[in-house]
Amino acid sequence: MRSWIGRFLAVLAAVPCAVVHAKPEQIRGVTSPIFHYYLQAYPQNSTIPVMGPEAKSEYYNIGSGTIQSTNSSAYLTVGADNTSYKTLTLSSSAGTAAPGWALEGDTIITGTSSKWGRQLNFLVCKVGTGDYWQVYLQTGSDVPSGKTCSNYQSLHLPCLC
């Protein structure tokens, strides 16, 4: 007979992706080249959100349509680029386009009623010389030329999967 902990772990394993709701939340990538890289401010320019090492992960309050870093108090805001990818900025104000962000299970999305509709794709492009990837909201298929990018990434809360 299995111990209670064995039964507990078996129950957890049966859940495809049990979200650990440890508020505030970390936000991370799940596929290469940003597999288990975490959302944070770029060390060279704190207005630029990047995926980087877990050790420098920031923590976010996600709610009321906003994503706010508890480390810097900056809000993740979406730019008005004419390309399908929209520049994300860490701003002191949530901006007029808020509320926009939402959660769908463990996945970061822009909500159906937001200016962008329901989007859950992100573009990441390598920035600087370190292993940092700048994050953009992707509403289509455009990719900037002359950069090393990975399209159709998704961002998630850490989960037991």
Ligand X SMILES: *[C@@H]1O[C@H](CO)[C@@H](O)[C@H](O)[C@H]1NC(C)=O
- Binding residues for ligand X, rule: CB under 6 A, are 45, 47-48, 56, 58-59, 70-71, 80-82
Considering beta carbons, is residue 48 or 157 the nearer one to ligand X? Answer: 48
Q: Which of these, 149, 139, 113, lies nearest to 34 by C-alpha position?
A: 149
Pairwise CA distance, residues 81 & 65, whole Å:
20
- Name the residue nearer to ligand X (CB basis): 105 or 130: 130
Amino acid at 56: K
Q: What is the DSSP string of 109-138?
A: EE-TTSTT-SB-EEEEEEETTTTEEEEEEE
Q: Work out how close the CB of 5 gets to ligand X at its nearest, in angstroms, rounded to a whole number.
A: 27
Q: Position 84: which residue type? A: S
Residue whose CB is less far from ligand X, 31 or 45? 45
8 Å CB contact between 127 and 50: yes
Alpha-carbon span 87 to 47, nearest angstrom: 11
Smallest gap from residue 44 Cβ to ligand X (A)? 7
CB of residue 73 vs ligand X: minimum separation in angstroms?
Answer: 11
In the complex, minimum distance from the CB of residue 71 to ligand X, in angstroms, rounded to a whole number = 4
Question: 28 forms bridges with which residues in the sheet?
Answer: 38, 156
CB of 71 or CB of 107, closer to ligand X: 71
Question: Which DSSP letter does residue 17 get?
Answer: T
Nearer to ligand X, 119 or 134 (CB): 134
- Cβ at position 110, least distance to ligand X in Å: 18
Residue pointed to by tokens 């769908």: 104
